[in-house]
Structure 1
Amino acid sequence: MSRFSFRFSLVAAVVVLAGAPKRAPAAIAPYAGDAQAALTNGMRLLRRALHLGQDEVVSHAISLSSREAALELELAGGRTRTVALQGGVVLIDGARAGRYTPGGRLERAWRRLLADGGALDTRGLLVALRAWHAPSVSGEDAVAGTRLEESLQTIGVVRGAPTGVTTVARADSARARFEGAARPVSITLRDLAALDSLKLHLGALEDVGGDGEPATRVSPLNRVVGDASTVVAFFVALAMLGFGAVFFGRRYVETVADTATHSFGRSLVVGLLGQLLLLPTFAMLIVGLIFTIVGILLLPVVVPAFIVAACAAVLGGYLAVAHAVGETFTRRRMAHGAFVRAPNAYGYLFTGLLGLLGLWAAAALTGWMGPVVILFRAAALIVTWLAATVGFGAVLLSRAGLRETFAGRHLGEMSDEYLWATPPATPTAARMNAKD
Structure 2
Amino acid sequence: MRCAKLLFWLAAAVTPAAGYAQLVGHTTELSRRAVTVRLEWADGRSTEIVAGEGRLELNGETAARYTAGGMLEQRLRALVSRSAELESEALLTALRQMPTDGFGPRELEAWNRFLAALPAGEAAETLPPPDPSLYQPLEESGAPLTRVFQSGSERATGRGVEVQEVPAVERVATGLLTVLGGLVALAALGFGALFFVPDRVETVAQTVAHSPFRCFLAGLCTQPLILPALATLLIALVLTVVGILLIPVAVVLFVLGLAAAVIGGYLAVARVVGEMYARRKGWAEQYTGGWTVFRYLAYGLIGLLAIWIPAALLGWIPVLGAAFVLVAGVFTWIMATAGLGAVVLSRAGTRTTFAATGSALPGGADLWREPLPKADAST
TM-score, length-scaled by structure 1: 0.49
**Aligned pairs, how many?**
246
User: 1:373/1:340 Cα in 2 relative to 1: closer, same or farther (>3 Å)?
Assistant: farther
User: 1:149/1:191 Cα in 2 relative to 1: closer, same or farther (>3 Å)?
Assistant: farther
Q: How big is the shift at 1:371?
A: 3.8
User: 1:214/1:384 Cα in 2 relative to 1: closer, same or farther (>3 Å)?
Assistant: farther
Q: How big is the shift at 1:203?
A: 3.1
User: 1:380/1:248 Cα in 2 relative to 1: closer, same or farther (>3 Å)?
Assistant: same
Alignment pair present for 1:220 and 2:133: no
User: 1:376/1:205 Cα in 2 relative to 1: closer, same or farther (>3 Å)?
Assistant: closer
Correspondent of 1:406 among 340, 354, 357: 354
Q: Output one character per residue of 1:133-160: Cα deviation in whole Å (capped at 9) or x when no partner.
A: xxxxxxx4x433234457889xxxxxxx
1:238 counterpart residue number: 186
Alignment pair present for 1:365 and 2:313: yes
Alignment pair present for 1:146 and 2:97: no
Structure 1 counterpart of 2:5, one-letter code = V
CA distance in 2, matches of 1:164, 1:381: 41
Structure of higher CA gyration radius: 1
Correspondent of 1:318 among 263, 266, 269: 266
Structure 1 counterpart of 2:154, one-letter code = G
Q: SS of the residue aligned with 1:216?
A: strand
2:21 counterpart residue number: none
Alignment pair present for 1:203 and 2:133: no
Does the Cα contact within 8 Å between 2:219 and 2:341 map onto a contact in 1? yes
CA distance in 2, matches of 1:404, 1:234: 30
2:304 counterpart residue number: 356
CA distance in 2, matches of 1:369, 1:399: 43
2:226 counterpart residue number: 278
Structure 2 counterpart of 1:226, one-letter code = T
1:287 counterpart residue number: 235
Alignment pair present for 1:268 and 2:198: no
Does the Cα contact within 8 Å between 2:216 and 2:337 map onto a contact in 1? yes
Alignment pair present for 1:249 and 2:197: yes
Equivalent residues in 2 for 1:322-341 (5 A)?
322-334=270-282
CA distance in 2, matches of 1:150, 1:367: 56
Alignment pair present for 1:347 and 2:281: no
CA distance in 2, matches of 1:229, 1:359: 14
Equivalent residues in 2 for 1:31-430 (5 A)?
140=3, 142-148=4-10, 179-180=97-98, 182=100, 192=122, 203-205=154-156, 207=158, 214=162, 216-334=164-282, 344-410=292-358
User: 1:340/1:208 Cα in 2 relative to 1: closer, same or farther (>3 Å)?
Assistant: farther
Write out the 4+ residue segments of structure 1 that deviate beyond 6 Å after TM superposition. Answer: 150-153, 162-166, 183-186
Does the Cα contact within 8 Å between 1:257 and 1:324 map onto a contact in 2? yes
Does the Cα contact within 8 Å between 1:289 and 1:298 map onto a contact in 2? yes
Does the Cα contact within 8 Å between 2:315 and 2:324 map onto a contact in 1? no
TM-score, length-scaled by structure 2: 0.55
Q: SS of the residue aligned with 1:218?
A: strand
CA distance in 1, matches of 2:92, 2:220: 65
Does the Cα contact within 8 Å between 1:322 and 1:349 map onto a contact in 2? yes
Does the Cα contact within 8 Å between 2:266 and 2:336 map onto a contact in 1? yes
CA distance in 1, matches of 2:311, 2:181: 15
2:366 counterpart residue number: none
CA distance in 2, matches of 1:341, 1:365: 38
Q: How big is the shift at 1:224?
A: 1.5
Does the Cα contact within 8 Å between 1:359 and 1:377 map onto a contact in 2? no
Structure 2 counterpart of 1:219, one-letter code = P
User: 1:249/1:151 Cα in 2 relative to 1: closer, same or farther (>3 Å)?
Assistant: closer
Unaligned 5+ residue runs, structure 2? 16-88, 101-107, 128-151, 362-379
Q: Which has the higher contact order (CA 8 A, sep 6+)?
A: 2
Unaligned 5+ residue runs, structure 1? 1-96, 99-139, 154-161, 167-177, 414-436
Does the Cα contact within 8 Å between 1:235 and 1:357 map onto a contact in 2? yes
User: 1:409/1:215 Cα in 2 relative to 1: closer, same or farther (>3 Å)?
Assistant: farther
